[in-house]
Amino acid sequence: MTMEIIRDPLWNNIRVDPLAMELIDTAVFQRLRYVRQLGLAFLVYPGATHSRFEHALGTYHLARRALGLFEERGDLAHVDPRDCRILRTAALLHDIGHYPFSHALEEIGAMDHEEVARPLIAEGAVAGTLRRELAADAPERILELIQGKSASPLQGLISGSIDLDKLDYLRRDAFMCGVSYGEIDVDRLINSLALVRDPSSGALRVGLAEKGLSALESLLFAKYQMYRNVYWHHAVRSGTAMYKRLVDDAIDAGSLDAEALARFTDEGLLDELTQRSPTPLLTALRERKLYKRSFECPASDLTAESGEWIADDRALTVQAENALAKQLGLAPGELLLDYPTKTQMLGLDMPVCRRNGEVAQLTSEGWHGTINLPKLSEELYRSARWLRVYTRDRTQLDRDAVLALASLPAADVRARLAAGKPLL
């Protein structure tokens, strides 16, 4: 088999087999060259212009490495060789459905990028190649892996507690941003992965050797630092809030078709908005005139459910933004609420092979004798996640009044809006 070599700044040489090369040359995969991995983070970190294309290649590379190690150790003796080819292909295609500027549009209620991937993988040129080279049901099996629904023993490499996606993006994002926060011991983690028998079901699953637990702890800290300093940086979130609002407004005005979003590249979408729905908000985003913080508070200072309606109910959030803007003498779109969508800092559910050969399950209950990863994960998450109010120009807001609004249940906020009562 003739392998192509692609040079990569992170992993150096990436060896690409003919099947992967054919998939890379399809139009739907080439679009990923023009979808930034970190959305609007380049407005803060100028080097963060790397794309989903590079990340997909990196994840594919790590899949080849992991499977090579499994094979050396004899872990694949009870795995169908076709599962390995399907796994490598799933690693390559796992982000093919990403929207322009990555995850931001999922926060306004757009379909999850893993669902967007369905027609891109199950139809057209990609599906034809997969069915011809792998199996008649290959597209469906790859989609199951990407969505975390596969019965394959290799599922954990694509979607799991320490899947290969995380190992590439944390290292790559830190490298391209020029920060040291994402430095994780990828070699140690990959060498600690193994196929083991699940202690409850007896099924083969991707697990971790006990010697890799310290590297798993470093993964948690790296992810926290990247969220706190890069992904949820206040200026990155300002640009993200502006972008979400201008896309929302364009869809509501009929200037943009929500179902067509996944076909755009980053600049393609901005150009489309410039032609169809030019607004001061769009101009401000393109010229990096980011909105200012008029209020901010970490989730660790809030009660458990405070602000969740801002993260979960996009329509209500936009109504509240407009009502607050009017109350403060601002125009619609000049005040934005932001509370990042709730996500786990590190979801743990994987078998661990103890040094004595016993296999035990690492879950949210933690692990005796080590850092309580689940508890620590929740605490780090709450300190990285901030509730913020952004305004075009910095505006004085009553802190207690904003906290009181955030603490209201969604139904109460909706009732106030319906009655025309002030929110602050």
Q: Where are the beta strands (DSSP E) in 285-419?
A: 292-298, 335-338, 350-353, 359-362, 386-391
If asked whether residues 153 and 261 sit together in one domain, one would say: no
Closest listed residue to residue 158, CA positions, set 103, 223, 90: 90
Q: Which residues contact 361 (CB under 8 A, 6 or more apart)?
A: 198, 199, 200, 349, 350, 351, 352
Contact present, 165 and 94 (Cβ < 8 Å): yes
Q: What interhelical angle do 52-73 and 164-177 show, nearest 10? A: 130
For residue 252, being part of any structural domain is answered with: yes
* CA–CA distance, 237 with 41 (Å, rounded to integer): 9
Angle at 10 between CA 16 and CA 97, to 5 degrees: 60
Q: Kindly state whether residues 213 and 335 are assigned to the same domain.
A: no
Q: What confidence score (pLDDT) does residue 362 get?
A: 77
Between CA 179 and CA 177 the distance in angstroms is: 6
Boundary-marking domain end, from 190, 218, 246: 218
Phi, psi of 115 (to 5 degrees): -80, -35
Domain that holds residue 80: 4-218
Instruction: Kindly give, in sequence order, each residue whose CB lies less than 8 Å from that of residue 155, ignoring residues fewer than 6 positions away.
Output: 145, 148, 205, 206
154 and 21 together in one domain? yes
Q: Flag whether pLDDT at 368 surpasses 70.
A: no
What is the C-alpha separation between 187 and 349, in angstroms, rounded?
A: 21
Which CATH number does the domain housing residue 41 bear? 1.10.3210.10
Among 218, 245, 277, identify where a domain stops: 218
Asked if the structure places residue 375 within a domain, the reply is: no
Q: Quote the pLDDT of residue 345.
A: 65
Mark whether 322 and 282 lie in a shared domain.
yes
Q: What percent of the chain has pLDDT over 90?
A: 72
Among residues 166, 191, 218, the one where a domain terminates is: 218
To which residue do tokens 């801002």 refer? 310
The verdict on 125 and 240 lying in the same domain is no
Question: Does the pLDDT value for residue 195 go beyond 70?
Answer: yes
Q: Which of 98-112, 231-245, 326-340, 406-420 has the lowest mean pLDDT?
A: 98-112
Q: What sign results for the dihedral spanned by CA atoms 411, 414, 416, 418?
A: negative
Give the Cβ contact number of residue 4 at 10 Å.
12
Place of tokens 């992904």: 231
Cα distance between residue 203 and residue 307, in whole Å: 41
Residue 47 and residue 167 in one domain: yes
Complete DSSP assignment for 97-152: TPPTTGGGGGGGTPPPHHHHHHHHHHSHHHHHHHHHHT-TTHHHHHHHHHTT----
Distance of alpha carbon 242 from alpha carbon 101, whole angstroms = 12
Q: Residue 371 has what pLDDT?
A: 54
79-90 tens-digit pLDDT = 999 999 999 999
Q: For 297-322, what is each residue's pLDDT tens digit? A: 999 899 888 999 999 999 999 999 99
User: Could you tell me if 211 and 239 lie in one domain?
Assistant: no
The reported pLDDT for the residue numbered 373 is 66
Q: Above 90 in pLDDT, residue 381?
A: no
Query: How do residues 223-252 score in pLDDT, each as one tens digit?
Result: 889 999 999 999 999 999 999 999 999 999
Q: How many domains does the chain have?
A: 2
| Cβ neighbours of residue 350 closer than 8 Å, sequence gap 6 or more | 156, 160, 161, 162, 205, 206, 207, 208, 361, 362
Residue 111: what pLDDT?
Answer: 65
Residues 9 and 110 in one domain: yes
pLDDT for the residue 366: 56
Q: Are 286 and 191 in the same domain?
A: no
Based on the fold, state whether residues 18 and 48 are members of the same structural domain: yes
Q: How many CB atoms lie within 10 A of CB 268?
A: 14
List, in order, residues 6 or more apart from 201 with CB less than 8 Å away: none
pLDDT of 1 above 70: yes
Q: What residues contact residue 180 under an 8 Å CB cut-off, 6+ apart?
A: 174
- 362 lies in some domain: no
H or E element: which one contains 216? helix 213-226
**Model pLDDT, residue 367:** 57
Is-contact 144 150, C-beta < 8 A?
yes
Average pLDDT on 119-146 reads 95
Cα(70)–Cα(209) distance, rounded to whole angstroms? 13
| Mean pLDDT estimate for the chain | 91
Sole residue written with tokens 């003796």: 77
Tell me if 179 is assigned to some domain. yes
